[in-house]
Structure 1
Amino acid sequence: MDFSLISGLVGSLKATYDLGSAAVGVRDANKLTEAVAEMNHKLLDAQQRLFAISSEAWALQQQLIDTQKENLELKATLEERGRYVLVELAKGNFALRSKVKPTDASEPVDAEPEHYLCQPCFHKGVKVVLGLEGGQYSPYIQRCAVCKHGIEVAPAPLQFPSPSRDYSPF
């Protein structure tokens, strides 16, 4: 047997093996490239979903902040309305009177005097103290400076002119 033929055959087989290994390596590299491309695609998809979830979470957080702010405003309004009681100053005419707190000797006296608020304005969100108008010959009226709503609280006092010193019926 000729060793040169065997060594040529072995060399050919080795070259074929090397080509086969290279082909497998190329095939594996192609598979690896495909796998990396698919992984990148999935990562990009996950990142887009994460952005969508993040923006939705931000919108929900803003909604929560707005709702909490509205809740605080409603609580403040409710507390403010709790400081007043609806009273009928004259038949069919209503106003809101400040609640008088009972005073104990241990507590300091509240400096806020008793007053009346215009009921129509108060329910529109405007707090207007009714002012007293009237005088010597006209009725006493509690009047709102904003909507001009007036409530007659006392009739005009009956006053007679005092006679002058120079007046003499005789």
Structure 2
Amino acid sequence: MFDLGSITTAVGSVGTAIGMAKTALEVRDFNASAAAISDASQKVINLQTQLLSTLGTLFELQQEKMSLAQRVRELEEHRSDRERYSLFEITPGGFVYRFNVSPETAGASNPGGMQPPHYLCQPCLDVRGHKVVLNERAVIWHCPECRAAVDNGKTIDVHFDI
């Protein structure tokens, strides 16, 4: 009744069917894990992109901070240097900057503080921020940079021999 060949064939077919089912499950599991791996990889790539963008912004901010710190140093030096001078009316309506000579800033303990008397051009210092020493000419103080002239209060005696 039962044919041994048929039973063997049936068992072989069942074994093949089981093998195919296992393979189908493995393919399904591989595809599911591949999708999960792909999704995780995409998230890592997105995070790396965000990190690079953040690092770029951080670099720009560091550059700006360094530039601003340098500008603050320059302004502090300029302010400190400018505080060494006071606006002085050398003649009525004629203003210059004069070096502040004080016992604290000059003397043996601070020989660098000893400066010869000199005047700075007021327009150059106020408008352009440049320190320009005025040159004394016969009756004026003259700025070699902006060509401003300030009366020095002196007069020239001119004698004509006839």
TM-score for the superposition, normalised by structure 2: 0.81
What is the distance in 1 between the residues matched to 2:20 and 2:45?
37
The answer to whether the 8 Å contact 1:130/1:142 transfers is yes
Which residue of structure 1 aligns with residue 116 of structure 2? 113
Letter paired with 1:114: P
Q: Is the Cα contact below 8 Å between 2:90 and 2:152 reproduced in 1?
A: yes
- Please give the residue correspondences for 1:2-41 in structure 2 after superposition, counting only pairs within 5 Å: 2=2, 4=4, 8-41=9-42
* Aligned residue type for 2:129: G
Q: Which residue of 2 aligns with 1:150?
A: 149
Retained in 2: the 8 A contact 1:99–1:114? no
Structure 1 residues 37, 107: CA separation in 2 closer, same or farther (over 3 Å shift)? Answer: closer
Report what 1:168 is aligned to: none
Q: Name stretches of at least 5 consecutive residues in structure 1 with no aligned partner.
A: 135-139, 164-170
**How many correspondences in the alignment?**
157
Residue 84 of structure 1, CA deviation: 0.7
For the 8 Å contact 2:133–2:143, the answer to whether it is kept is yes
* AA at the equivalent of 1:116: Y
- Opposite residue 92 of structure 1, the aligned amino acid is G
Cα distance change of structure 1 residues 62 and 90 upon mapping to structure 2, 3 Å threshold: same
Look up the match of 1:64. 65
Q: State the alpha-carbon separation in 2 of the partners of residues 56 and 131 from structure 1.
A: 51
SS in 2 for 1:154: coil
Instruction: Give the corresponding residue for 2:129.
Output: 125
RMSD over aligned CA atoms reads: 2.6
Structure 2 CA distance for partners of 1:52 and 1:132, relative to 1, 3 Å? same
Contact 2:107 2:113 (C-alpha < 8 Å) held by counterparts? no
Q: Is the 8 A contact 1:143 1:150 kept in 2?
A: yes
Q: CA deviation at 1:68?
A: 1.1
Which amino acid in the other structure matches residue 118 of structure 2? H
Counterparts of 1:106 and 1:55, CA distance in 2: 51
Check the 8 A contact 1:98/1:114 in 2, yes or no: yes
Deviation, 1:23, is 0.9
User: CA shift at 1:109, angstroms?
Assistant: 6.5
Higher-helix-fraction structure = 2
| Structure 2: stretches of 5+ with no match in the other structure | none
